Structure 1
């Protein structure tokens, strides 16, 4: 059973900003730390990763376990990485430079940096941009291997979905989210009648301004500049269950952009504005009926072979052959192949980004160019489109996603243990 430290260390390794090198430059007298099937882990890789982890733990003021324990966990992690990378190589998984560059850009943006600033930040930590780039390439390959191998092992039953939606946790997590702003005239619960009257006069004047179209932030700023005791700001995204009952009942009756009437709480008089809403009832959404052909890379078909096959199928469709006939003969999606590649009505939110982007961008009746997702290579045609109330379906899909994510973490740990046990590993003396 992995220790708490093992899980914490695993989390450090999984970060895309991990300071480890993809292939550490070997120092003189480098030696093999472990033989892993057809690959090796070098001692220099262990040393470099150990230094990175040790530096991160020291910088975060985390408890420092014994150095040998860290080294043991580092070696075990590198062995698991090697196993998964070899699986990816056998399956023909490749990360092209364009995808890698896009990911690097996204990581920089998530940290509020330009790509050049990100490069400089890495250099300040003693990490070259090229080292980080190759480590992220490795992480992307490993992620694709896990999605294919672990994702296929997870099954969510209809009963599990119903049980989750009926639970208190399920009702809360699938309830609507509200993005709110608030303006407050502070008022103590023990305020005198004259203080209450004065605060009420202020909040009613503010309410009238807001109803006439004034911006809440501007109203608050102008009144504060005049010396009035007023506070305002955004509350961010909240579920109604996270708010006092008085506020929850009021915001659920609002349309986006509307304000509550002034509300009294123990801390003052409030006006709340609903800025955005997501989830909940009355969720209208576009649905698509599509057909597709899926060609999967495998241990006997490389990524390049899969791409060449799907390109040939695309050309045959362009030359006039039946999409449905080719789907029945070649598609490796068992749920749709027998139906000529046709899927049931689907919501864009239920799909991986690459599939969703193509489906929502091509005209109805046009066959897409071949494109890749984590599942393989696809050809897609949109047959029809409609707009429906998806409240029930969205809740079910949300429940499936939540349950799948929960199961994925547990299944991943079991799978990692299995592949470690099933792989030839020889650890050399340290």
Structure 2
């Protein structure tokens, strides 16, 4: 018998049993909760539905939005809970879990984005009539659902080489992959029809600020003190701007700057502006450092303690310093299956592809030098830096960015298709 039908039949039997208790027993026992919907091997309870309806109404009220009629809103919220239940059941069957540490980090992140501590976040929820424990559980559910979606949707999205090349060659692709600048600004306003004296005074003030900046004054502090821009209290922070979005002469002036530099004062219809280039990314040239490195990895195990692994790494370090060949010792002792047979050689590698502990030691080790033994999550290492080089990775970076944009574009479409599919294939019985 189908397990979905079994659950439904069980609930029907429970309802029938309650009726057989008799009128007196029925009058004495008041149900605290009831089933709103059966969803495969799970149920949505009336209390869940009412809590979510309350949350939705509060959110709409804060935004000043008018709620739809009660029956329509109830139907929409119940359908949302049904689809959530299906995704949570997939997470359970797939062994997907959210640890308490991950949950605590997510709760703290939500509180921080709202300008609160965790305790302030708890108090704000209580003020709105919401339980902190229920909010935590809802956040856990959302994290589980996001993780399920990432796994299931990722395997449905395929980007062909032809799609990639077509996007790179398109006007949209060229625009989205063009150079970007993270900017900050200081605006000294000029009223419409300003007199020559007002203009002269504003230009002198701008020149004075520019000179202070050239001598090392903090841009954010000057922006907060003098700028009339709406982002002045954020230190003039404007965020990222595409090169194509900047009007002349800003585009050419910004392109000529190095990160950290500022433009000379620029007269605009609204006043006088000074821009600072915080960062730049994208464009036609992407140069990244690659390091040629080799290492020996010694792992702790059931037969080798942490201290024994450290001592072995230190002995190998002393043997290499004493003149023994690094590659021969790596072939004999290293427990990295990807490099041991090559004498520990990792070849030319992007430091960003490595764990932080390995990356830091590699950065601190000069070319041709050997590091002292150090620990990473993988075990104990000894590394030798064989060389460094700057490599133009523009084409590779552009293809990676284009592929990411195409995946993001396909994600929502694939998500909706998948959600419809799991909903259509599920056993759902509405009990309202």
TM over 0.5: yes
Closer/same/farther in 2, CA of residues 191 and 116 from structure 1, 3 Å limit: closer
Correspondence for 1:41? 44
Residue 160 of structure 1 deviates from its aligned partner by: 2.2
Q: Aligned pair 1:91/2:105, yes or no?
A: no
Of 114, 122, 132 in structure 2, the residue corresponding to residue 111 of structure 1 is 114
Higher alpha-carbon Rg: 2
Q: In structure 1, list runs of 5 or more residues that go unmatched.
A: 1-26, 291-310, 326-341, 372-380
Q: Aligned pair 1:166/2:187, yes or no?
A: no
Residue 94 of structure 1 deviates from its aligned partner by: 1.3
Residue 406 of structure 1 deviates from its aligned partner by: 1.6
Q: Aligned pair 1:149/2:152, yes or no?
A: yes
Q: Aligned pair 1:323/2:323, yes or no?
A: no
Residue 68 of structure 1 deviates from its aligned partner by: 0.9
Task: Report the Cα distance in structure 2 between the residues aligned to 1:230 and 1:215, rounded to whole angstroms.
Answer: 17
Residue 347 of structure 1 deviates from its aligned partner by: 6.0
Correspondence for 2:422? 419
Native 8 Å contact 1:186 1:267 kept in 2: yes
Correspondence for 1:258? 261
Task: Report the Cα distance in structure 1 between the residues aligned to 2:111 and 2:248, rounded to whole angstroms.
Answer: 40
Task: Report the Cα distance in structure 2 between the residues aligned to 1:51 and 1:189, rounded to whole angstroms.
Answer: 50
SS at match of 2:66: coil
User: Superposed, which structure 2 residues align to 1:47-196 within 5 Å?
Assistant: 47-184=50-187, 186=189
Residue 59 of structure 1 deviates from its aligned partner by: 2.9
Of 396, 401, 406 in structure 1, the residue corresponding to residue 399 of structure 2 is 396
TM-score by length of 1: 0.67
Closer/same/farther in 2, CA of residues 150 and 386 from structure 1, 3 Å limit: farther
Higher mean C-alpha displacement, 410-419 vs 169-178 = 169-178
Closer/same/farther in 2, CA of residues 396 and 30 from structure 1, 3 Å limit: same
SS at match of 1:53: helix
Give the CA RMSD over aligned residues.
4.5
Residue 211 of structure 1 deviates from its aligned partner by: 3.2
How many residues align? The count is: 356
User: Superposed, which structure 2 residues align to 1:275-294 within 5 Å?
Assistant: 275-286=278-289
TM-score by length of 2: 0.67
Residue 173 of structure 1 deviates from its aligned partner by: 2.4
* Cα deviation digits, residues 319-372 of structure 1 (max 9, x gap): 9777359xxxxxxxxxxxxxxxx99988687x8xxx86687568799996479x
Residue 396 of structure 1 deviates from its aligned partner by: 2.1
Native 8 Å contact 2:220 2:236 kept in 1: no
Closer/same/farther in 2, CA of residues 285 and 56 from structure 1, 3 Å limit: same
Residue 409 of structure 1 deviates from its aligned partner by: 0.8
Native 8 Å contact 1:288 1:382 kept in 2: no
Task: Report the Cα distance in structure 2 between the residues aligned to 1:220 and 1:43, rounded to whole angstroms.
Answer: 54
Closer/same/farther in 2, CA of residues 415 and 189 from structure 1, 3 Å limit: same
Native 8 Å contact 1:188 1:266 kept in 2: no
